[in-house]
Amino acid sequence: MNTIAYPQTKKEPVTDTYFGTAVSDPYRWLEDDRSAETKAWVQAENKVTQHYLEAIPYRQDIKKRLETLWNYEKYSAPFKESKYTYFYKNDGLQNQAVLYRQVDDGEPEVFLDPNTFSADGTTSLAGISFTKDGSLAAYQLSEGGSDWRKVIVIKTGDKAIVGDTLIDVKFSDIAWHGNDGFYYSSYDKPKEGSQLSGMTQHHKLYYHKLGTSQREDKLVFGGETTPRRYIGAWLTEDQRFLAITAANSTSGNELYIRDLSKPGSPIVPVITGFDTNNELVDNQGSTLYIYTNLNAPNYRLVTVDAANPGQQNWKDLIPQTRQVLTISTGGGKLFTHYLKDAISQVKQYDMNGKLEHEIQLPGVGTASGFHAKKHEKNLYFTFTSYIYPATIFKYDIATGRSVLYKKSGVKFNPGLYESKQVFYTSKDGTRIPMIITHKKGIPLNGKNPTLLYGYGGFNVSLTPAFSVSTIILLEQGGVYAVPNLRGGGEYGEEWHIAGTKLHKQNVFDDFIAAAEYLISNHYTSSAYLAISGGSNGGLLVGAAMTQRPELFRVALPAVGVLDMLRYHQFTAGAGWAYDYGTAEDSKEMFDYLYRYSPYHALKNGVSYPATLVTTADHDDRVVPAHSFKFAARLQEYQHGTAPVLIRIETKAGHGAGKSTAQIIDEQTDKWAFMLHNMGLDFKQQD
């Protein structure tokens, strides 16, 4: 491979001092996403990256194969609103899925087509909420992938717009109160500096009355009196209770209620403090059903009377078990979703906690859905695994029986592949599950191209799910491996906490041990091993490649959190401190973060893996400055000829709402870069 002529990235003498330690940050200027210099740097880096990728001889073959695989009709599970059944459908290569509706078995009609929102398909439908009678809907728009949204209200009958468009809404659901108006949440837009990277500190819950100006919206919760970083609102189906969740980080929240059946009723605390997660999932009259991990790290469902909702009055309805619990409701029933080693098990209970059905799933994998209104007789769920394309089933609530509703149209034969769960031992002896997927009969000779994907944070569980893009790897005789690292939610809050703050190294150790397992069992070797992850998973990749650069051939950190000393100073980053801690917390916390922070852990003259950093210019969740600074320093320090490239998507954000064209282009570049840097050809498929 030829030596790449990287753009000259200027360095400026910037130093911060933490607890007596001076930390150099010469690429600080790249944090200014509005400057002409940063824009010029982005263009120069993209030019080098595109030149490199265009020279890979089979890049277009991969793109054509992906377009062929992607080109099938994709459906969401349907949902009912009044007389209509709504569902999303993508004809194949449409940039955005279209929202359709139909009456009973009648002909479906287009309700909202996001492909008409912008010429290039980068404006997406980011959520929709209907009034209880289904006559009005409020939908959110995201432009260029930004987390900032617009909200448009329409009459569902003729789609006529009602009132003004709301602007500057962020991290919000829409909770309708009758047809009068709705609750929503947002921040004050940053007044100084960048709209994309400026800090968003205090969330506020507002009530918008239809037909009035947004300027007149009433503040319901938050602001000066109760400053909180994340505030959400939800109404019970009978519209009696407004439930408010309030949090300062991504884990742990307060729960409040207001009885809307009594005019002027106060907002009442159910549980305060941020040590536990709490959610109101349903009510029957004045009885509240609360999902919580208070005194139950694997979660439980409790009931309490709304007149005296304090935790001292909570009664277990569905107690904690050894498996992690989540809850949904439908048809006046409770559906418990348990994770056993990241695999779904679902049961149906009545509202008194009596077991009615254990739901038969079509295999070992992930079931999702099980939501419906109380009067419905049926609901829908989706089932998937790494070799089971997402399939929709219709479920009869009375009998507990399921029938196939919509089969996936993807051209993939599961019979040719196998997906098995193994357990391996991490550095400290902890047992970690991992699912390994590949074509049946591949030789275990250490030469299979392998992608090791991980996340490990924020209580997020990585459960088996089919990916069209991954077919590219599997068809080439490759291996796809996904371990369930500490920091995730697969084994409850204790598993989560074991991968946070001063235990974060456990996550990286778990990931590195997964790589060593794959090598020692001859699935692959370092010459054929790539690692991938996004957001917190981008941090994971950055930490693993800086700690064990010789272990991996290719690294693919996507929209990563890579500067652990400054992450909390951008957008909503301060809310991640529950998982990470901050450099200002203590000398011990600073030293710990400084040691593993990928941007700071890079060393001059080390041979790092071939690296393709990916980010987007509109990412206002994990700002692109993380990736910019990391790529600049890695290009400066890299020893040898392994390329260090950064691919910066324009008119895109953290990931949600990307157009199909953008997704296919990015996946094409990922697979082409990976295979090319392993010295492998791309085998054409029939």
Q: Which residues are catalytic?
A: 535, 654
Neighbouring CB atoms inside 10 A of 497's CB total 17
What six digits make up the tokens of 245?
Answer: 């969740």
* CA–CA distance, 499 with 278 (Å, rounded to integer): 21
Q: Is the dihedral of CA 456, 392, 111, 282 positive or negative?
A: negative
Q: Is there a contact between 646 and 49 (Cβ–Cβ < 8 Å)?
A: yes
Return the beta strands (E) in 104-156 as ranges. 109-112, 123-130, 136-143, 148-155
Task: Cite the beta strand spans of 535-585 per DSSP E.
Answer: 554-558
Task: Please state, in angstroms and rounded to a whole number, the distance separating the CA atoms of residues 369 and 2.
Answer: 50
Q: Which of 585, 611, 597 minimizes the C-alpha distance to 677?
A: 611
Burial class of residue 191 (count of CB atoms within 10 Å of its CB; 0-12, 13-18, 19+):
exposed
Nearest in space to 6 (alpha carbons), one of 681, 636, 639, 676 = 636
Q: Which has the closest alpha carbon to 669: 621, 616, 613, 608?
A: 613
Q: How far is CA 220 from the centre of its chain?
A: 28
- CA 153, CA 163: separation in Å to the nearest integer? 7
Are the C-beta atoms of residues 451 and 467 closer than 8 Å to each other? no
Cβ proximity of 536 and 504 under 8 Å? no
Closest CA to 246 of 202, 309, 282: 202
> What does the alpha-carbon distance between residue 134 and residue 155 come to, in Å, rounded to a whole number?
9
Q: Hunting for tokens 């009377």 — which residue is that?
A: 305
